[in-house]
Amino acid sequence: MISQAIHRRGLLLSGAAALLVSSCARAANPKTLVVYKTPYCGCCKGWVAHMTRAGFTPTIHEVEDLAPVRARYGVPFKLSSCHTGVIGGYVIEGHVPADDVARLLREKPKALGLTAPGMPIGSPGMEVPDRPAERFDTLLLLDRSGRTQVFATHGA
């Protein structure tokens, strides 16, 4: 009788734990974006504001050196920019437009993530009054060796 009561109690507790885990999983925001940036970069703030306006929820981590972050996520120096984001298992390097990130999350290609190398004028966070946007590509970062393919083209 006592062992049956203990068994029922265990089943109830494991069932409650399963409900808690599933409700937490459903509550997790799929648009949560972790951003690594230096404390000195102003254009990074502009990109974060762009992502926020597009419905993403950024969490900012200020670091003195982005090289270890980029190495961790497989972004070669030649494809780097001034900040690194992580979302949905993908790395987002630089001033990548929010629409490109949303498309990446929707299509889920087999890749490390997206990069907009450098700091193209007119890209999100790099808007300059009285200067037209430069043409730039968002690149799909295929692997740690730096292989890419054009994901989207923006600007003039």
1 and 78 together in one domain? no
CA–CA gap between residue 19 and residue 67 (Å, rounded) = 40
13 and 37 together in one domain? no
Task: Band the pLDDT of 14: cuts 50, 70, 90.
Answer: very low
CA–CA gap between residue 34 and residue 24 (Å, rounded) = 19
Helix (H, G, I), strand (E, B) or coil at 32: strand
pLDDT in tens, 88-128: 999 999 999 999 999 999 999 999 999 999 999 999 999 99
15 and 75 together in one domain? no
100 and 134 together in one domain? yes
Domain residue limits at 60: 31-154
10 and 66 together in one domain? no
- DSSP conformational letter for 79: G
Average pLDDT in the 73-92 region? 96
73 and 145 together in one domain? yes
Closest to 51 (Cα-Cα) out of 83, 79, 89, 77: 83
Q: How many Cα atoms sit within 13 Å of 146 on the Cβ side?
A: 8
Query: How many structural domains is the chain composed of?
Result: 2
Interhelix angle 98-107/42-53, rounded to 10 degrees, is: 60
- What six digits make up the tokens of 1? 């009788």
CA–CA gap between residue 126 and residue 66 (Å, rounded) = 19
pTM of the model: 0.80
CA–CA gap between residue 120 and residue 21 (Å, rounded) = 42
pLDDT of residue 99: 98
120 and 59 together in one domain? yes
User: What's the CATH code of the domain at 106?
Assistant: 3.40.30
14 and 81 together in one domain? no
